[in-house]
């Protein structure tokens, strides 16, 4: 899977999911995302709580999944 963090770079450097790449919502486009897609992998997008990543999913024409609750929910589930 390809994991994309749609937060701003300063948010990304403060902590991100392992292996995530940073493409801020303001830079999200199908062309940008296509550069990171390999072998039709699953695309998962996240932000702090899920709002921006939901918007990013809506902007893309490929199948993508929003990490509901964002990095905050992921950290809570993983006791981080």
Location of structure tokens 């993508």: 64
Per-residue pLDDT of the chain (80 residues; tens, 9 = 90+): 899 999 999 999 999 999 999 999 999 988 888 787 777 778 899 999 999 999 999 998 888 899 999 999 998 998 76
The model's pTM: 0.90
- The enclosing H or E element of 43 equals strand 43-46
Query: Quick one: pLDDT at residue 21?
Result: 94
CA distance 80 to 66: 20
Q: For the chain, what is the domain count? A: 1
* Residue 45: domain span: 2-77
Cα–Cα distance list, 25 to 2, 3, 17, 34, 56 (Å):
16, 14, 17, 15, 6
CATH number, domain containing residue 68: 3.40.250.10
Location of structure tokens 């296509």: 34
């Amino acid at each position: 899977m390809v994991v994309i963090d749609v937060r701003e770079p300063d948010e990304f450097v403060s902590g991100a999911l392992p292996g995530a790449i940073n493409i801020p919502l303001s830079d999200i486009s199908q062309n940008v995302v296509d550069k990171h897609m390999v072998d039709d992998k699953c695309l998962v997008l996240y932000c702090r709580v899920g709002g921006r990543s939901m918007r990013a999913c809506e902007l893309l024409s490929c199948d993508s999944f929003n990490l509901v609750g964002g990095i905050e929910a992921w950290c809570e589930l993983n006791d981080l």
